Amino acid sequence: MENCNTCKYCGSVEFVEKTDLIGMHWGEVICAKCDRHIRWLPDPSVTRKFEERSQTIDEALNAGILSGWELMFIRNIRERRYLTHKQQEKFDQICVKHALKIPAIASG
Ligand SMILES: [Zn+2]
């Protein structure tokens, strides 16, 4: 995947991943030649939770078991990587109610 990219500053095709960042970002890709920022790296644990949740949501949607507001809510959170505490709570309730597989609950 990295090979498809070239640094837009210096044209290099070599990149370095840094994951020891201080602050809100989990990691970033920088150019190996000019050290410039290329893109942010998503936190893999968030990505995993997001994928598990999407899978559960798709199963629920395919099964056609959700009522009106549940359907609206589920469609609303389908593409979100992060859920608020309230959204997570609601989602868990829907999972329990319909005996859906509950993805690992976000901690913190
Ligand atoms: Zn560069």
pLDDT (tens digit per residue) in 32-60 = 999 999 999 999 999 999 999 999 999 99
Is residue 106 situated within a structural domain?
no
Q: Does 105 reside within a domain?
A: no
| Ligand 1 mean position, distance from CA 43 (Å) | 24
Per DSSP (E only), the strands in the chain are: 15-18, 27-31, 37-41
Average pLDDT over residues 72-101: 94
| 54-77: pLDDT as tens digits | 999 999 999 999 999 999 999 999
- At 3 the pLDDT is 44
38 CA distance to ligand 1 middle (Å):
8
Structural domain for 50, as ranges: 44-97
Q: Is the residue at 70 inside a domain? A: yes
Q: How many A from CA of 34 to the centre of ligand 1? A: 4
| Ligand 1 centre distance from Cα of residue 21 (Å) | 19
Report the separation in Å between the CA atom of 77 and the middle of ligand 1, taken as the mean of its atom positions: 37
Predicted local distance difference test score (pLDDT) of residue 1: 44
% of the chain with per-residue pLDDT over 70:
91
**Sequence-separated (6 or more) residues with CB below 8 Å from residue 28:** 17, 18, 21, 37, 38, 39, 40, 41
Per the structure, the count of domains in the chain is 2
